[in-house]
Amino acid sequence: MAGFSHIPVMLEECMEGLNLKDGGLYFDGTVGGGGHSYEILRRSSPTGRLIATDLDDDAIAAATERLSPFAGRFQIFKSNYKNYEEVFSLAGVDKVDGVMLDFGVSSYQLDSEERGFAYMKPSSPLDMRMDKTAPVTAATILNEYPQEEIKKILYEYGEERFAPQIAANIVRVRKTEKLETCGQFVKIIEDSIPKKFQQNGPASRKSFQAIRIAVNGELDGLYECVTGLTRRLKTGGRIVILTFHSLEDRIVKRAFKELETDCICDKSLPVCVCGKKKEIEIITKKPIVASVREMAINSRSKCAKLRIAEKIVCDKA
């Protein structure tokens, strides 16, 4: 899988955040091309181990090849990272020393004509699936979903102010032609947004993000997953999360805040009766962003935010 090209974002910051150690056991829930995973294994040598997941067969093939120097020290499962309970069970694992989650779409996926992730490729099919065997594609949503549902997706997942107009025009156009290419979708979007609002970057970005999130269920169960994975950390273990849009970042921030909160009883009570205990220390009070130099080299890093937390209390056995 020589064509799978992907530059890991904030690599050094992520590795420092994980506080890697020899003999540690780590989980990379979004292995991609294996960039972060490679460094986790290299820096936890010679006995550090890694469990990883991804939904993209091409990514799994590329990562398996890239991590081959560490054969015997890693396992990659074709699964959603949200299925960590099942994956940990299959791997015979209970607690881990670190969790890495990178929610970005890889350069390979964006650049692949047949994947349909990019609005810059007008002839690409409306696909957008991370898992190419999944039943729902972008075309499914645009051709079959009711207008109100499409509007809701565009508004909630893309924060697109012109969602009503775009949804209405999608339904209007699909009455006479089947929506099959990214170029068709781009034209509908651009025809729906007044020109004066198309000056600050590509008009299609928000809508493509929204449909991609819907196709892959990216936000479904994310809060519960972040909370659950954090509770699978050993004491002193770290969770490191890279987000690429505000919706993801808000969920991660909220999950971390809840985990860091101690006693939620009414302050007038003489003793705590709620039993809630602080479970983590948030390392990044404000999210880390990429350096100016990295942004110049890797444009994907411009919207990235990195949050890190450390487990301070283990669950009772």
Domain extent, residue 204, equals: 112-216
Can you tell me the distance from the alpha carbon of 213 to that of 51, in angstroms, rounded to the nearest whole number?
25
3 state SS for 2-21 = CCCCCCCCCHHHHHHHHCCC
Q: Does the residue 3 lie in any domain?
A: no
What is the domain-level CATH number for residue 282? 3.40.50.150
| Whether 246 and 99 share a structural domain | yes
Answer yes or no: is 2 within a domain: no
Q: Are residues 261 and 130 in the same domain?
A: no
Asked whether residue 123 falls in the same domain as residue 211, the answer is yes
C-beta of residue 238 within 8 angstroms of C-beta of residue 18: yes
For the chain, the domain total comes to 2
- In angstroms, the CA 298 to CA 31 distance is 19
Domain end position, chosen among 166, 185, 216: 216
Structural domain includes residue 4: no
The angle that helices 222-231 and 84-91 make with each other, rounded to 10 degrees, is 30
Asked if the structure places residue 42 within a domain, the reply is yes
Domain for residue 193, yes or no?
yes
* Residues 67 and 196 grouped into a single domain: no
In a domain, 44, yes or no: yes
Straight-line distance from the first to the last Cα atom of the chain, in angstroms, rounded to the nearest whole number? 42
Query: Does residue 46 have a cis peptide bond before it, meaning omega lies within 30 degrees of 0?
Result: yes
Digits of tens for pLDDT over the chain (317 positions)?
Answer: 445 556 789 999 999 999 999 999 999 999 988 999 999 999 999 999 999 999 999 899 999 999 999 999 999 999 999 999 999 999 999 999 999 999 987 766 776 778 878 787 888 999 999 998 999 999 999 999 999 999 999 999 999 999 999 999 999 999 999 999 999 999 999 999 998 888 776 788 899 999 999 999 999 999 999 999 999 999 999 999 999 999 999 999 999 999 999 887 877 777 787 778 899 999 999 999 999 999 999 888 999 999 999 999 754 43
Judge if 83 and 132 occupy the same domain. Answer: no
pLDDT attached to residue 7:
79
Q: Which of 182, 216, 250 is the endpoint of a domain?
A: 216
- Let me know whether 83 and 128 are in one domain: no
Q: Based on the domain organization, do 223 and 210 belong to the same domain?
A: no
Same domain as 120, residue 65 = no
**Are residue 203 and residue 223 in the same domain, yes or no?**
no
CA torsion through residues 216, 81, 75, 102, sign: positive
Residues belonging to the chain = 317
